[in-house]
């Protein structure tokens, strides 16, 4: 546990390093921050912080930079102190209200939220929707385009909308399509795709003896599977790669390897939020569990509940503005929770 004074010196050093991306000396801290102590005291506190592993000196003649342990102590102080239970400020509340009012459906809301997060944090932002296979189907509509082509529109309980075109091998009358729509909705509404599939495998779908209904139910399930993992929103990668930490290909390539692999990335995000009790988690550097992400931090949070739960995350260099990013993720969660 750091003393209040050391916590204050560490916070000032991190704030300066986040701002400049350059090693920080004691003179800079004394001149730019109201620490209320002498230069000699600041130098002594920096020496202790370095001995304890919170900061390090990259070169003998250089100032200090934070270590992962230093960032962790700083973030824990933020989460337990000034940000714990903190209400969103007026600007953040207005941003949340604007997002909700301007979005026409969940897809649109996730897109707008990802854009706002990328703008506010200048980092890579990711919004992962709830798994469609675990959500209830609200309504299915068949729109006849020609007598052999129909547009399937599926509305999920959380507001997500998916569509798919289907070609029939022979003409289908509008009355037959309407009757099939009524039967399909009776079968699917209020149930998850996973539940429907299980019932079909058990042989409990008697209404599926109708070939048209059987075909359309299969197309609805195929539509949801097709879109299940395809709607993750990811923005801000170009901003991330412009950060000073990633100017060297040796530093950038391993990060891109992970960020471009959706499966690995989603596993990391799901682990982060599933292993934590808090709605927002922060993983710093080596805490991410892979050397490839040892140069980044991940701030992730859950939105929604139960089967309707999704993930919103910000990925940036360990030298990120944690207070701002944590507040931004909290605002995004508020916007997506409705």
**Secondary structure (DSSP) of 156-184:** ETTS-EEEEEEE-SS---HHHHHHHHHHH
Asked if 14 and 70 touch (Cβ cutoff 8 Å), the reply is yes
- Phi, psi (rounded to 5 degrees) for 162: -130, 150
Q: What is the pLDDT of residues 240-299, one digit of tens each?
A: 888 898 888 888 898 888 887 766 676 677 666 655 566 788 999 999 888 889 999 999
Q: What are the start and end residues of each CATH 3.30.450.40 domain in the chain?
A: 96-131+231-337
The pLDDT of residue 54 is above 50 = yes
Rounded to whole angstroms, how far apart are CA atoms 315 and 110?
Answer: 17
User: Do 64 and 16 form a contact (C-beta atoms < 8 A)?
Assistant: no
Residue 337 pLDDT:
80
CATH class of 4-66: mainly alpha
| pLDDT computed for residue 230 by the predictor | 47
Q: pLDDT tier at 92 (50, 70, 90 boundaries)?
A: low
Q: What is the pLDDT of residue 229?
A: 54
Nearest residue to 161 via CA among 95, 111, 88: 111
SS3 category, 334: helix
Please, what is the average pLDDT of the chain? 85
Per-residue pLDDT at 86 exceeds 60: no
Q: Is 48 helix (H, G, I), strand (E, B) or coil?
A: helix
How far CA 300 is from CA of 140, 246, 268, 271, in Å, comes to 33, 21, 10, 10
Residue 133 clears pLDDT 70, i.e. is over it:
no
Q: Which residue has the higher pLDDT, 322 or 101?
A: 322
pLDDT at 93 over 70: no
Residues of the chain within CATH 1.10.10.10 domain(s) are 4-66
CATH 3.30.390.60 intervals, the chain: 133-227
Domain 133-227 has CATH 3.90.1150.10: no
Cα–Cα nearest to 168, from 145, 185, 197, 188: 145
| Superfamily of the domain at 96-131+231-337 | GAF domain (3.30.450.40)
Predicted pLDDT of residue 169:
93
């Amino acid at each position: 546990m750091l003393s209040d004074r050391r916590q204050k010196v560490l916070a000032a050093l991190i704030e300066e390093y986040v701002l400049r991306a350059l090693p920080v000396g004691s003179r800079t801290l004394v001149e730019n921050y109201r620490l209320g102590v002498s230069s000699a005291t600041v130098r002594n506190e920096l020496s202790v912080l370095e001995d304890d592993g919170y900061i390090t000196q990259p070169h003998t003649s250089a100032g200090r930079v934070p270590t992962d342990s230093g960032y962790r102590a700083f973030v824990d102080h933020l989460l337990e102190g000034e940000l714990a239970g903190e209400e969103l400020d007026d600007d953040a509340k207005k941003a949340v209200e604007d997002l909700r009012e301007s979005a026409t459906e969940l897809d649109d809301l996730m897109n707008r939220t990802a854009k706002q997060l990328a703008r506010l944090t200048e980092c890579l932002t990711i919004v992962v929707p709830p798994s469609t296979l675990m959500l209830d189907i609200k309504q299915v509509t068949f729109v006849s385009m020609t007598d052999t082509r129909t547009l399937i529109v599926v509305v999920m309980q959380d507001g997500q909308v998916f569509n798919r075109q289907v070609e029939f091998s022979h003409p289908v009358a509008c009355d037959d399509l309407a009757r099939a729509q009524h039967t399909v909705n009776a079968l699917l509404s209020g149930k998850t795709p996973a539940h429907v599939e299980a019932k079909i495998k058990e042989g409990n779908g008697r209404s599926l003896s109708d070939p048209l209904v059987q075909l359309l139910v299969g197309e609805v399930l195929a539509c949801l599977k097709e879109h299940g993992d395809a709607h993750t929103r990811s923005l801000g990668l170009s901003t991330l790669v412009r950060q000073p930490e990633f100017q060297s290909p040796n530093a950038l390539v391993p990060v891109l390897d992970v960020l471009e692999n959706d499966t690995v990335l989603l596993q990391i995000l799901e682990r982060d939020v599933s292993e934590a009790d808090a709605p927002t988690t922060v993983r710093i550097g080596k805490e991410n569990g892979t050397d490839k992400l040892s140069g980044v931090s991940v701030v992730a949070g859950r939105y929604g509940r139960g089967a309707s739960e999704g993930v919103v995350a910000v990925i940036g260099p360990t030298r990120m503005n944690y207070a701002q990013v944590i507040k931004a993720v909290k605002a995004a969660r508020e916007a997506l929770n409705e």
